[in-house]
Amino acid sequence: MEFAICSQGLTRHFDATHAVTELDLQIREGAITAFLGPNGAGKTTTISLLLGLLKADRGTCEVLGHPPGHPAALANLGAMVESPALYDHLTGLENLEITRLMRNLPPAELNRVLKVVDLTHEARRPVLTYSMGMRQRLGLALALMGQPKLLLLDEPINGLDPVGIQEMRELIRSLSWETGVTVFLSSHLLAEVEQVATDLVVIHRGRLRYQGPIGGLGNPNSIELMVRVGDPQKALSILERKGYATHMAEGRILVQASELAGPQIAACLVNEGCDLYELVPQKVNLEDRFLALLEEP
């Protein structure tokens, strides 16, 4: 299997803050990989390391087979880090033209990327008049200049309204299907990226918590029991002592057990003095698994 991004022990600290620690990444070529974590988890720092904008304190990394920042990697890489940097007093076309000239790309590249992001008819308007969704699409057009093999997108749906989110989601999917470009997409919103991504990387407090197929985070066909009690910590201790696998999500206890185990679990908790308010079987979902990862020490 070929990897567009591969790192081992990638680490970057800022004074006493551990932004990224011992990060091992294997990002498959041609996949849409969601890079997920809460705000401050280390996502932007990681992307800056991959682009060569920051130097690692230790560890190794390859992007498209080269060290970060290597000209051969940058020539085949497009990136949009946080909000796109645009010249508001210029038109969308003029913004693209600046990048085209700097990179010595053919003029036909302008029409190509404008068509891809559906801005052809808005290209001669000043960027100052663009909506947030249009600005994000123009930023993506800049990242697509030169037909890159790898796209690094940092929170591309941040600040968009529902229509803009849907447009960006469909655009990213179509790019992958039609061109085979590898997409590494950072976000803190699981509900959005699970509709786009094939693979998932979860990071929290600078450390890797999960890496693999997005469906591997939680089997949608499996069942677990949601338990709500008066003293969650006491209930957790009881259930774990009885051998049940448990985790917490938004104040609820989730027990990995079949629906048939419900009566035994209820009796166990009540007999040991727990106030049981609710016990409901439910399908495992990605959001619960994601939240459980963030609650791990």
Q: Within this chain, do residues 38 and 112 fall inside the same structural domain, yes or no?
A: yes
**pLDDT tens-digit readout, 139-182:** 999 999 999 999 999 888 877 888 888 888 888 888 888 888 99
Q: CATH code at 63?
A: 3.40.50.300
pLDDT of residue 82: 73
Q: Within this chain, do residues 117 and 184 fall inside the same structural domain, yes or no?
A: yes
Q: Is the pLDDT at 220 greater than 70, yes or no?
A: no
Alpha helices, DSSP H, located in the chain: 43-51, 71-74, 92-103, 108-116, 132-144, 162-179, 190-193, 232-241, 262-271, 286-295
Lowest model confidence (mean pLDDT) among 11-20, 106-115, 244-253:
244-253
**pLDDT tens-digit readout, 75-100:** 999 998 877 889 999 999 999 999 99
pLDDT of residue 114: 95
Q: Within this chain, do residues 149 and 230 fall inside the same structural domain, yes or no?
A: no
Instruction: Name the strand (E) or helix (H) holding 24.
Output: strand 17-28
| Domain span at 259 | 223-295
Handedness of CA 176, 180, 181, 187 (dihedral sign): positive
Domain boundary among 186, 214, 242: 214
What is the pLDDT averaged over residues 113-138?
A: 93
Number of domains in the chain: 2
pLDDT of residue 69: 92
Q: Is the pLDDT at 283 greater than 70, yes or no?
A: no
Whole-structure pTM value: 0.75
